[in-house]
Chains A and B, each alone.
Chain A
Amino acid sequence: MYVAVKGGERAIDNAHAWLADERRGDRGVAELSVAQIREQLSLAVNRVMAEGSLYDPDLAALAIKQSRGDLIEAIFLIRAYRTTLPRFGASKPIETGEMACDRRISATFKDAPGGQVLGPTFDYTHRLLDFKLAADGEVPEAPEGTPQGGDVPHITGYLNREGLIQDEPESDEVPPDLTREPMELPAGRPLRLQSLTRGDEGFVLGMAYSTQRGYARNHAFVGELRIGAVAVEMDIPELGFAIEIGEITVTECETVNQFKGSKTEPPQFTRGYGLVFGQTERKAISMALVDRALRWKELGEDDQGAPAQDEEFVLMHSDNIQATGFLEHIKLPHYVDFQSELELVRKLRREVEAARSSVLSDGLAPGEAAE
């Protein structure tokens, strides 16, 4: 019996010992190092950093090892750790225009200043299992070129010069912090974007996909997708100026969305935006599509009643740590509530049966007896 038997404490300790043993697996196989995970499972590491909202590849790799490769569990470990960290301050906004791009593509222009750079992508690989990898993982060094250097301007900027794309007004307003204030709805765009960038990749992908299939379709083109390193700068009050405190890799996606105009806006292109830690382009593109769908109100579009347009629906269900916790909690004991339901169902059944037998003995039609 798993219920209130004495010894719950010992059961928990034993379960943890068993779990640790299972995590290690066959001792005849070499143990994975955190560095191996960081270097060779880097896309998993990136996802854990993005949804854990903490840029630290070593800790993310450790979390993946500890969680036996369950990425949501790993994200949870990172989130729980992250909450305990003190806040020293806020960085300056990163300048993605100054990114050292590993990858930079545009679907809207054949070529553009800065060029198209494919980078390390699966896009044109044939998905054939590479059995060589099972025997021997050695790969030859990739050929190297010379980095272009200099800033890589954003492609949407070219459209902007013509006034063809909706303008994003600059603002110095301090964005709200999802991790330090309760979510209040309606949410502004900064809060929505914060929520989406740490939202579950699968959930955001599903929402984005639904817009492509007609649930609030927003005709998205990938105006630009870029992946690369950017500097993080922070103002240091004691110094009186900003210094570079590190470098992070991010994926940025700007979509260009066709827009025929509305009551308030002229025909023009509109934008969706995605920005995610690490090389995480599926997530960044998804984020941009969902961002665009959620902007229907400010652009004066119709509410089509589509899930991806519904801010409360999207924001309240995108967090996989909240979702998995609540979903899985139904395996905790609920026998007190179940007992009260048992009593209720028994009582209701007794009443139905009593009514039925009185109908039979009185010879009344059931409809009359129900009165």
Chain B
Amino acid sequence: MTNEAENVTAYNFAYLDEQTKRMIRRAILKGLAIPGYQVPFASREMPMPYGWGTGGVQVSAATLTPEDCFKVIDQGADDTTNAVSIRKFFEKTAGVATTEETAKATVIQTRHRIPEERLTEDQVLVYQVPIPEPLRFLEPRETETRKMHSLEEYGLMHVKLYEDVAQHGAIATAYAYPVKVEGRYVMDPSPIPKFDNPKLEMDAIQLFGAGREQRIYALPPHSKVVSLDFEDHPFEASKADHACDLCGAEDSYLDEVITDDAGGRMFVCSDTDYCRSRRAAGHVGAQGAPYEEGVA
């Protein structure tokens, strides 16, 4: 697919110039040193729109080395259009190897999901973040929310969660569910479903990039990450109460797919690589056909 000689002449490795990458790496290191703290960085205009993952792309660009193997997922899937587009971007500008297999990747860029397969110490997970500020929809002013973080003033968030319980009987946040990192910073885990929140405590490095909002933050391996809740209303990682109709998995996050206009639907793993590998290993769900190599 890629022609390395052409890449070298057309772009710097991974598109960004070395000075910019150095600036981003400094922000990443600061983020790792202060888990959950949002580090301002001089985000660049990328050749894809803000909102399409420019933060994640800049963090990936500053993280990738020529030896890396890169995977991109959007909604858990490798073949959603924007995941394809970002993977192609780095194939073209960095010439790195790419893969769809979670275990083979050294750097994984994601939007809205954490892979089902447990990540290892040798991997880096890069999140695309739209609004990095967990307090933003309670207080629209950045000048105020920065103050609230520095004073560790999170009462507003607890009041919001309490009001949910009072009005609905449960905390009515289903994704981008706020967490507290290492007992200090309240952090937005990006719009992952709350099903993924327990996986935020992991062996891999997690980096979060928000391009438009010019923020980078990070979770070093094994950071303590607690989803906010109350003793009598404990956090619950929920998913559709089904098994995957293709691979039969009962432990994976499911997408609901409408199959006809008479209310017919099926549930399938959102993590396409997880589903594929299970089917390759012989698991078959209620509506699944036996696995054949090369067939989706």
Is residue B64 within 8 Å, beta carbon to beta carbon, of the partner chain?
no
Is residue B25 within 8 Å, beta carbon to beta carbon, of the partner chain?
no
* Residues of B contacting A: mostly: loop
- Considering the chains assembled together, what is the distance between the CA atoms of A330 and B170 in angstroms? 27
Which of A123-131, A258-266, A342-350 forms part of the interface with chain B?
A342-350
Find residues 207-264 in chain B having any chain A CB closer than 8 Å to their own CB. Answer: 212, 214-215, 238-240, 253-257
Is residue A213 within 8 Å, beta carbon to beta carbon, of the partner chain?
no
Residues of A within 8 A of B (CB): 2-9, 11-12, 76, 79-80, 82-84, 86, 179-186, 312, 316, 321-322, 324-330, 332-337, 339-344, 347-348, 351
Which residues of chain A have C-beta atoms less than 8 A from B40's C-beta?
Answer: 182, 184
B112 touches which of A179, A184, A337 (Cβ 8 Å): A337
Residues of B within 8 A of A (CB): 17, 40-47, 49-52, 54, 74-77, 79-85, 88, 112-113, 130, 141-143, 168-170, 172, 174-176, 191-195, 212, 214-215, 238-240, 253-257, 270, 272, 296
Which residues of chain A have C-beta atoms less than 8 A from B44's C-beta?
Answer: 83
Q: CB distance A183 to B214 under 8 Å? A: yes
Q: Which residue of B lies closest to A348 (CB)?
A: B168
Q: CB distance B175 to A332 under 8 Å? A: no
Q: Which residue of B lies closest to A4 (CB)?
A: B77
Closest chain B CB from A349 CB (angstroms)? 10
Q: Which residue of B lies closest to A325 (CB)?
A: B50
Q: CB distance A180 to B45 under 8 Å? A: no
Q: CB distance A12 to B50 under 8 Å? A: no
- Considering residues A6, A328, A340, A351, which has the most beta carbons from chain B within 10 angstroms of its beta carbon? A340
Which residues of chain B have C-beta atoms less than 8 A from A327's C-beta?
Answer: 51
- Considering the chains assembled together, what is the distance between the CA atoms of A185 and B212 in angstroms? 15
Which residues of chain B have C-beta atoms less than 8 A from A348's C-beta?
Answer: 168-170, 172
- Considering the chains assembled together, what is the distance between the CA atoms of A24 and B141 in angstroms? 45
Which residues of chain A have C-beta atoms less than 8 A from B191's C-beta?
Answer: 334, 337
Which residues of chain B have C-beta atoms less than 8 A from A180's C-beta?
Answer: 42
Q: CB distance A326 to B51 under 8 Å? A: yes
Which residues of chain A have C-beta atoms less than 8 A from B54's C-beta?
Answer: 325
Q: Which residue of B lies closest to A52 (CB)?
A: B45
Which residues of chain B have C-beta atoms less than 8 A from A325's C-beta?
Answer: 49-52, 54, 212
- Considering the chains assembled together, what is the distance between the CA atoms of A280 and B254 in angstroms? 53
Q: Which 6 A-B pairs have the closest CB atoms?
A: A329-B51, A325-B50, A340-B174, A325-B49, A182-B40, A4-B77
